[in-house]
Structure 1
Amino acid sequence: MKYLSVRSAVFLFVTVLASQSVQQVDAAMTRSSEAWGSPITYPSPGLRGAPGGSDGRVVRLFAAPRVPWGPGHRGIDIALRPGSVVRSVSRGIVSMAGPVAGANSVVIRHPDGTRSGYSFLLALLVTKGERVTKGEPLGISGGTGPGHLNPGVLHLSWRVGEEYRDPLSRLAPRAWHFAP
């Protein structure tokens, strides 16, 4: 019977391990590229603009910071009528529900390990540890957060590890309207 040299055995082991890691990364990328549902409800399919009752325009786009703690806008802002229901974009577990810097917020950890955040909520409808489904109500839009914001703005963010990414790239295609 022939035996492998130690060097050949180590090489084979590392090759198999690397192959499995690549397959796991590919699977994670596939899972994380699934489109999210809308965080807001559309009152009528005939309405342009959008959900929750207001126009649903994206009034502020994502702007990645140049350095981790530098200035930037780590999500998008969507105009909503105050009192609109804000919904989970995908299934997951509530990892945080409460105030952050004066704004009521909810963070959902999704099965792919990413997190979606929802801020400037008037009321929270979930608590930490709850399992939520795609489209499940998380809170009511309203007037918490920095004073310069319209009381009906939803701030939606997306984190992969510790890096914020543009949530528009995850939302299901639709006629999003952008403020001039």
Structure 2
Amino acid sequence: MSATALISPGFAAAGPDTRFDWPLRPHPVVGRPFDPPEQDWLPGHRGVDLAGTRGQAVYAAGPGTVVFAGKVAGKPVVAILHAGGLRTTYEPVEGEVRVGRRVTRDTRIGELAAGHGGCAAPACLHWGLRRESTAHASREYLDPLGLLRRTPIRLKPVEPDRPGGN
């Protein structure tokens, strides 16, 4: 599967306990979209940047368990593991949660910090998503906006042209 793969719409619509929501409230502006590299080792934008303000509350996007709350390369990061091997990351976020804590989509996990490079807003949340496979020791970056689908997309079959023009 490629890095541009979509999340299964059925996952986000499975029920109230598994739905995802925006990590910033109210609904933020997407400052920079997901732009994965063609190959995993090349540079790219493996998440989305959401415009916010310094000190704004950041919420878990969905239910899961906090698996990291600390600094990476000097920036504060929180990571949450969700069902199906999905992991969301939130940066730069001054975490208020400890590793091992179970969260819901409405759990406040910290405050947005300033300092995300390339952000035109006073502060931006870099929201990332990846699917991890322990069986294959791999990870696949996905567009986190795919988590926000509320209803599955259904395609109707195309009927072939009938003789007579109908």
Same fold by TM (over 0.5)? Answer: yes
Does residue 108 (structure 1) correspond to residue 87 (structure 2)? The answer is: no
Contact 2:22/2:148, CA 8 A, preserved across alignment: yes
Q: Give the total of aligned pairs.
A: 132
Aligned to 1:20: none
Q: 1:70 aligns with which of 32, 36, 42?
A: 42
For 1:108, the aligned partner's letter is I
Aligned to 1:164: 141
Contact 1:32/1:114, CA 8 A, preserved across alignment: no
Structure with a larger share of its residues in strand: 2
Does residue 40 (structure 1) correspond to residue 24 (structure 2)? The answer is: yes
Contact 2:58/2:108, CA 8 A, preserved across alignment: yes
Contact 1:63/1:75, CA 8 A, preserved across alignment: yes
Classify 1:144/1:126 alpha carbon distance in 2 versus 1 (closer, same or farther; 3 Å): farther
Structure 1 residue 87 displacement after superposition: 0.2
For 2:89, the aligned partner's letter is G
Unaligned runs of 5+ in 2: 1-7, 14-18, 133-138, 151-166
Does the residue aligned with 2:145 lie in a helix, a strand or coil?
helix
Deviations 1:143-165 (A, max 9, x none): 2444x435510011111120000
Contact 1:101/1:145, CA 8 A, preserved across alignment: no
Contact 1:102/1:145, CA 8 A, preserved across alignment: no
Structure 1 residue 101 displacement after superposition: 2.0
Q: What CA distance in whole angstroms lies between the structure 2 residues aligned with 1:30 and 1:57?
A: 22
Runs of 4+ in 1 over 6 A off after TM superposition: none
Deviations 1:28-47 (A, max 9, x none): x57634341121122xxxxx
Q: Percent identity?
A: 34
Q: What CA distance in whole angstroms lies between the structure 1 residues aligned with 2:92 and 2:20?
A: 20
TM norm structure 1: 0.66
Unaligned runs of 5+ in 1: 1-28, 43-49, 51-55, 174-180
TM norm structure 2: 0.72
Structure 1 residue 104 displacement after superposition: 0.7
Aligned to 2:3: none
For 2:148, the aligned partner's letter is L
Classify 1:65/1:129 alpha carbon distance in 2 versus 1 (closer, same or farther; 3 Å): same
Q: What CA distance in whole angstroms lies between the structure 2 residues aligned with 1:168 and 1:79?
A: 14
Contact 1:115/1:160, CA 8 A, preserved across alignment: yes
Contact 2:115/2:123, CA 8 A, preserved across alignment: no
For 2:140, the aligned partner's letter is E
Deviations 1:89-111 (A, max 9, x none): 11100011111122211110012
Q: Which protein shows a greater Rg?
A: 1
C-alpha RMSD of matched pairs (Å): 2.1
For 1:103, the aligned partner's letter is K
Does residue 155 (structure 1) correspond to residue 126 (structure 2)? The answer is: yes
